[in-house]
Structure 1
Amino acid sequence: MSEQATLQHLIVPRVRDIGDFSVMRVLPSASRRMVGPFIFLDQFGPVTLPAGKGMDVRPHPHIGLSTVTYLLKGSIVHRDSLGYEQSIEPGDVNWMTAGRGIVHSERSSTAARQHAQDLYGLQSWVALPRQHEETAPSFTHYEGSLLPETSGEGVSLKVIAGRIGDLVSPVATHSELFYGDLTLATGARYRLDGTYDERALYLIEGALEVDGTRYEPGRLLAFGPGEIVVTALEPARFVILGGAPLGEPRHIFWNFVSSSPDRLEQAKEDWRRNQFGVRIPGEHEFIPLPE
């Protein structure tokens, strides 16, 4: 019989107000900074914005990470300093690698603002391995139809990135990881992939039971190595994520991630002095460095 995994951390997100709606900050937390290479996870929504309103995440910089936008409802337009402009719809993946430096914005389109709109999704960051932290920035959009899916016995799985079982996502990554979107019917069971020791699930909707304990939405469960079986007590949707740890600690400030504190200071000073070196074509707003 395989060893039963232990629950290492139970994380309750912190609510942060970003203007017209709030986000739930899951990672990093005081008790757990990373799961595999995942260093950041936010849930935004569900929220219905009235006509005339929209998401407006103004131009801001990143280094040392990849951002992963995954929508459950609504649409967002991504623009970046490489010149990409891409709308993302539910089930698609926008994967942006900052590397040595990129600036991007995420906004509701003009058309979406003409009527009430639902917004609901997840934003995560994947820290880059040290040898790739200063790589050239890049952006790739993957339509949801390209992501592998499977269903049966009340379980539906879409692989956002990495490998889960026999399914491999086409999303290109810089390290070994997995990221999946799961829905379970009431009573259905799912055995979490045991390839990596660092694994977690984040419950978005419904209720799950793990080792006799009930968990409600808005909870991240981080596990140690071993067998993990989850059972849906009612229809449930959650993501699973994890992977190989990077080997060195990561430092984080605002939108910057690096294995080097000195590199963070350089990025801060570059942005403070407006010398980051890249801008989004056609966008001129500037967010000051947090003090």
Structure 2
Amino acid sequence: MANNKLLVNERQADIGNFMVGRLLPFREKRQVGPFTFIDHMGPTVIENQQYMDVDQHPHIGLSTLTYLFEGEVHHRDSIGSDQVIRPGDVGFMTAGSGVTHTERTPTSLRTGHPFTMHGYQIWVALPKDMEEMEPRFDFYSSEEIPTWQTDGVTFRLAAGNAFGKSAPLQGFSPLFMLDILVEKDTTLDLRGQLKGEVAFVIVKGEISDGDQKAGTGQMLISRTNEACEICMQAGTQLMLFGGEPLPEERFLMWNFVSHSKDRLNQAKEDWKNKSFPKVPGDNTYIPFP
């Protein structure tokens, strides 16, 4: 079974005062289901005023999903959303035809005391006929996320459908995203529990599939839709995500995703011309690179 998996290592990227590990996209695999971009933030101790301050920047054609284990992110956008995202919450901003947003350390944490930041920033591509939908922001607190335990394994279903359960966040095409923590050495049987392509992001610990192993900061992607049994060491935490692939290829240009390269170029010109909507009361601007 090992040769049915791709192994991916995080690549370092800088998002402004903050280094992240980029897992997707990479050369051999641009998407997993509708998931098109994954950044692993931390775990990093934030001190010496090195707060997260991602100024106004735009998106089209995708939804951003923020999921944290530690720390907080203050999300504001051009729709008027103003939300602090805390551990276990799910923030889901759908850009559609175009949105601008900022991501910052909340005022309540800007005290000079160190704190840990750890989580994932994820992009989910929209179906072709929804790429130009009206922007929206959906938020689900940690209390709303389906959580259950089975034989020493804790499951949290952040999005979509898996293991016969449904999350309040369904997205716009068939997908799933699970946070799994095991207390003891466990063999997890995934057969019949998930639909579509599957990726395994190891938050901490180690998993094995046959003779292939993956550890903290790595990602395994199943080459087939038939996910199998995964062996997880005690204390391992795993993000499991994927779903049905979209029928058309998606292209990325900076913060934009589309099936159309012409649309990407239009978004680039719109941002350069400052014709995107603005976050209320925020005059910051990240130039197109």
Cross-structure match for 2:59: 62
Report the Cα distance in structure 2 between the residues aligned to 1:81 and 1:275, rounded to whole angstroms. 12
Match of 2:78 in 1: 81
What is the CA deviation profile of residues 89-119 of structure 1, one whole-angstrom value per residue up to 9, with x for unaligned ones?
A: 1000000000000000110012201021210
Rounded to whole Å, the distance in 2 between the matches of 1:191 and 1:202 is: 17
* Deviation of 1:152 (Å): 1.7
> d(CA) in 2 for partners of 1:193 and 1:148?
20
Number of residues paired by the alignment? 286
Name the residue aligned to 2:19.
22
Q: Which amino acid aligns with 2:141?
A: E
Identity of aligned residues (%): 40
Letter in 1 for 2:164: D
* Residues 63-82 of structure 1 deviation map (CA, whole Å, 9 limit, x = unaligned): 00000000010111000001
- Aligned residue identity for 2:53: D
Partner of 1:39: 36
Query: CA RMSD for the aligned pairs?
Result: 1.4
For the residue of structure 2 that corresponds to 1:234, the secondary structure is coil
State the partner residue of 1:198: 197
Counterpart mapping for 1:107-118 below 5 A: 107-114=104-111, 115-118=113-116
1:182-221 correspondence to structure 2 within 5 Å: 182-192=180-190, 194=192, 195-221=194-220
The 1-side partners of 2:78 and 2:20 are apart by 25
Which position in structure 2 is the counterpart of 1:233?
A: 233
Provide the rounded CA distance (Å) in 2 between the counterparts of 1:245 and 1:271: 29
Q: Report the CA distance between 1:5 and its aligned residue.
A: 8.0
Which residue is equivalent to 1:259?
259
Structure 1 CA distance, aligned partners of 2:95 and 2:282? 18
> Which runs of at least 4 in structure 1 moved beyond 4 Å after TM superposition?
none
Residues in 1 aligned to 2:90 and 2:168: alpha-carbon distance in whole angstroms: 11
Gaps in structure 2 of 5+ consecutive residues: none
Query: Is the 2:2–2:210 contact (alpha carbons within 8 Å) kept by the matching residues of 1?
Result: no
Determine the C-alpha separation between the residues in 2 that align with 1:265 and 1:227: 38
Q: What TM-score does the superposition give when structure 1 sets the normalisation length?
A: 0.95
TM (normalized to structure 2)? Answer: 0.95
- 2:234 is paired with a residue of what secondary structure? strand
Q: 1:228-284: CA deviations, max 9, x gaps?
A: 1111223100111111111000010010000011100100000011122x0001110
Give the distance between the partners of 1:267 and 1:57, measured in 2 at CA: 19
Structure 2 CA distance for aligned equivalents of residues 275 and 153 of structure 1: 54
Aligned AA (2:173) = S
Partner of 1:283: 282
The residue number in structure 2 matching 1:243 is 243
Amino acid at match of 1:251: F
Gaps of 5+ in 1: none
